[in-house]
Amino acid sequence: MSTLHRTGLSVLSALAAVAVTAASASAALISGPRAVGSFYTSDDGASHAIIAKSSGDVVEAYWWEGTGTSASVIAHFDGIAAVSGFWANDSWRHGVVALHNGQIWDVRYHPCCGIFPSLLVNLSGWGDIKSMTAWTDPQSHTNIAFLTHWGTGNAFGVFQTGGNAPTTTTFVNIYPNDSAIDVAGHHEITNATSMVSVAIGSPGRIAQIYWSDNQGPGNFFDISPNTNVPWATRFAGATIVSLSATDQFCFFCSQWGGDEQMDLVTTGNQLKTFSVANGGGLLFQDWSFTYGPLVQSVTGPFISPVTGGYRRNTLVAMTNGDLWDMNPLWTSGTPSWTFRFVGTF
């Protein structure tokens, strides 16, 4: 497996102080690990963030390489618990919104045609939703992995709808003592599977399940820790605040080897990247946020093409509402790490 190379790592604090001069002092994001979702749309070349605000507004921020950020409200819900987002095979954009009362909404929209919110499922019997992640797969399923507060523990389940399979809600596990922190899900091209990761405990560890494209979440398998780990890695004593994961979007790039990429933020105000291949993995500390506000939510990574290469985008939201895109650029040599201030929300 290839090693990720780091060059040009700079101190964020001084630059951030300039970028956030006009930022609001009060936090506007919802609480919890899933305040922001993200995706890239290849039909227009834009990067997108889906942002949940404590006011109930769901905001889409979007930008192109070398341009400023635009933003607009695409929906409003009272009691938002988590958001996610994806770009579907039919070119529609999807902002997925989970409410504390158990409702999960799909805000389906397209610049050509308007905004169409619809209720996907009501999980009110599962408890108060704590975290949620949404993704699609080659069979055109909408997949939702969720964590709830259920008594003193956390229920973990998967909802799937669409495609040619019947709509199902699958119970996976109970984590006692409110020990489950966050959940991340994605489709993995190289293995033709859907993969769900759960961050658990303090210090943190990661558990995973998967199911094959031709099966469905009702036929999930646990990935057990082994001599390669990394699923029980304790991240050097760190506690995970928020977790995201994606298919290895650039498995043909030697600098970013592996089948899967995980990004996580910790109580130490650090962004870390986990590059995974065949049951083993490499963990890297990418950034330390030292300019003041604490990290709250991470989403991505997703790829956006640039001339002669690719940009790897990981969005990190802070407790004061600042949103950053941490984005190494790969062209012909070693990736150069930089960042973009998306805005304060």
pTM of the prediction? Answer: 0.89
With b for 16 or more beta-carbon neighbours within 10 A and e for fewer, the 221-240 pattern comes to eebebeeeebbeeebeebeb
Q: How far apart are the first and last CA of the chain?
A: 39
Instruction: Give the chain's domains with CATH numbers.
Output: 12-34+128-344 (2.120.10.10)
CB 100 within 8 A of CB 106: no
* Residue with the two structure tokens 């030697």: 254
The phi and psi torsions of 213 (rounded to 5 degrees) equal -55, -35
Name the E strands within 77-140: 80-87, 93-99, 103-110, 114-122, 128-136
pLDDT of the chain along its 345 residues, tens only?
Answer: 222 222 223 323 222 322 332 334 445 999 999 999 999 999 999 999 999 999 999 999 999 998 999 999 999 999 999 999 999 878 899 999 999 999 999 999 999 999 999 999 999 999 999 999 999 999 999 999 999 999 999 999 999 999 888 999 999 999 999 999 999 999 988 889 999 999 998 878 888 899 999 999 999 998 865 544 544 455 556 789 999 998 865 555 555 556 788 899 999 999 988 777 655 566 777 889 988 899 999 999 998 988 888 888 999 999 999 999 998 887 766 666 789 999 999
- Beta strands 70-76 and 80-87, pairing class: unpaired
- Beta strands 295-306 and 309-318, pairing class: antiparallel
